[in-house]
């Protein structure tokens, strides 16, 4: 098997979030959130180019101010993945494209290295993503993420292929046992083979995607293969202003020591 040629990282950044308008520009330690994401991505040697994709001039100006690479994209995209594909189409020299969430300011660069290495080792994988055991998170966050519909769960086979994603608690522990082996939280970043990304973005919304409001189910329903790398820790994501307050409080509790992951 030939090694992967080049990997492009695209960070979609939208200003008009319903739960947190202007989120990419929210300040953390004197920097906009999107700058933290950019700096973490730039630490990954396996990523040959990184671009922030946005449809908002305020984000574009902020990125240019800290020296990042930014591209304006259509405001009509239905998802960040479609925004990623718009960028990738103009760069045919990249055969794998990494879609990185712009709301995880302290993501672990080692996780990105792992996902790229794993894709290189698995020619049967069309899309690679990350999961982490829910047990680890329950202990650290001290909240019932198992039943939280905002937390996406993943079910894997023994080779790491993903069988299903759901907002519901899966697998079901029929005897009332708390989440144990086999209970994973999905971490929302994806590494696509170029052909898989082109195919995926051309598909119509699927029934399971509409039911769960999870676009990755569209890929699964169409026969695209998704595999996962399991990591021990999860980066702190920021979906709402309350999440941002939680992150800042966590930093204070650590006496302003550098924060990587939970």
Per-residue pLDDT of the chain (262 residues; tens, 9 = 90+): 455 579 999 999 988 776 777 889 989 888 999 999 999 999 999 999 999 999 999 999 999 999 999 999 999 998 999 999 999 999 999 999 999 988 888 899 999 999 999 999 999 999 999 999 987 555 445 457 788 888 899 999 999 999 999 999 888 877 766 666 678 999 989 999 999 999 999 999 999 999 999 999 999 999 999 999 999 887 777 777 777 777 777 666 655 544 444 4
The pLDDT of residue 138: 52
The pLDDT of residue 144: 72
Whole-model pTM: value is 0.87
Which CATH fold topology does 7-253 show?
A: Spore Coat Polysaccharide Biosynthesis Protein SpsA; Chain A (3.90.550)
Give the tokens for residue 95: 């055969």
């Amino acid at each position: 098997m030939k090694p992967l040629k080049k990997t492009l990282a695209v960070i979609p950044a939208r200003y008009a979030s319903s739960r947190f308008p202007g989120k990419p520009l929210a300040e953390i330690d004197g920097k906009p959130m999107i700058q933290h994401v950019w700096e973490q991505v730039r630490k990954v040697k396996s990523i040959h180019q990184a671009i922030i994709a946005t449809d908002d001039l305020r984000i574009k100006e902020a990125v240019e101010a800290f020296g990042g690479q930014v591209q304006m994209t259509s405001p009509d995209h239905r998802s960040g993945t479609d925004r990623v594909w718009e960028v990738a189409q103009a760069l045919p020299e990249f055969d794998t494209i990494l879609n990185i969430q712009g709301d995880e300011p302290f993501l672990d660069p080692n996780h990105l290295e792992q996902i790229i290495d794993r894709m290189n080792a698995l020619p049967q994988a069309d899309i690679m993503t990350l999961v982490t055991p829910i047990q680890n998170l329950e202990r650290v966050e001290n909240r019932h993420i198992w039943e939280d519909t905002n937390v996406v769960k993943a079910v894997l086979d023994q080779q790491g292929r993903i069988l299903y994603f759901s907002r519901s608690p899966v697998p079901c522990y029929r005897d009332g046992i708390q989440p144990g082996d086999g209970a994973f939280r999905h971490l929302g970043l994806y590494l696509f083979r170029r052909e898989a990304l082109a195919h995926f973005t051309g598909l119509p919304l699927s029934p399971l995607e509409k039911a769960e409001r999870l676009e990755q189910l569209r890929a699964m329903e169409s026969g695209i293969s998704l595999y996962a790398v399991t990591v021990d820790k999860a980066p702190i994501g920021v979906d709402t202003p309350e999440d941002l307050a939680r992150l800042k409080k966590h930093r204070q509790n650590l006496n302003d020591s550098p924060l990587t992951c939970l």
